[in-house]
Amino acid sequence: MALLRYILYFFGVAIITWLLTQLEISSPGSLKLQVYLNPADTFATSEYSPVEIIQLGILAICGLLLAWVAKNCPSQRPIAFLFGGIALAFFIRELDFFLDRLVDNLWQVLVAIPAALVIVYTYRHRRRFRIAWGRIWPSPGLSILFAGAIIMFAFVQFAAHEPLWMAILGEDYRRIVKIAVEEFMELAAYYLWLIGTIEYTYQARVIAMREPQPAVAKRRAGRQPKPKGRF
């Protein structure tokens, strides 16, 4: 079963990425990585790109899966709440262009809300968090989530830095090159986040099914009338 899932991950990532690349090759500009909304714009935006839309879709799926874990797997709720809050913060961050058009720096205010909730919740339930972590670690899902976080925070921030590409390309520098590299690297990180979230959800579900019933559930089951036999 696990082997089949990983084969599906491989072909899913390959097919989606192949479709994106073929879309741009067959019709240059189709990925909309550099869109000027009006002639006065100094910098173009990539927020209307299919790559950005896929990233938002991935984050939405991750958030829904982690919300399911938080609701249906109580023992894993602290971990699910933490990663769910991070996914929500990422989702808001990806919408920064549109939010800032409503109110300047609105996205920063909105990101601060789930960030504060996650910090407070994790601190208040730190003992439950350690217990939940001990029950599930080592975890392939959390390891893949960590790999995605490494790419997003420790790799993309430097490898997609604009001065780097200005130095590499020199007089041939074009901003769309930097944008394309950044967006595809972020997409790779989100691929890992999706795979890691699916694997974590699957593992959390298995743990929840193996856990003994709570005392309340046992008492409720004991009050049910027993089936009568023939004798």
* Neighbouring residues of 76: CB distance < 8 A, sequence distance ≥ 6: 69, 70, 132, 135, 136, 204, 207, 208
CA 215/CA 228 separation, integer angstroms:
25
Q: Of the ranges 35-44, 182-191, 192-201, 208-217, which one carries the lowest mean pLDDT score?
A: 208-217
Q: Is the pTM of this model over 0.85?
A: no
Identify the pLDDT of residue 226.
52
pLDDT in tens, 15-70: 999 999 999 999 888 888 887 777 766 677 777 889 999 999 999 999 999 999 98
Are the C-beta atoms of residues 5 and 198 closer than 8 Å to each other? yes
pLDDT in tens, 76-108: 888 888 888 888 888 988 888 888 788 888 888
User: 137 in the Ramachandran plot: left (φ > 0), alpha (ψ -120 to 50) or beta?
Assistant: beta
User: 141 in the Ramachandran plot: left (φ > 0), alpha (ψ -120 to 50) or beta?
Assistant: alpha
CA 166/CA 164 separation, integer angstroms:
5
Asked if the model's pLDDT at residue 122 lies above 90, the reply is no
CA 101/CA 88 separation, integer angstroms:
20
Q: Cα 127 vs. chain centroid, distance in angstroms?
A: 25
CA 115/CA 38 separation, integer angstroms:
34
The enclosing H or E element of 76 equals none
Mean pLDDT score of the chain, rounded to an integer?
Answer: 84
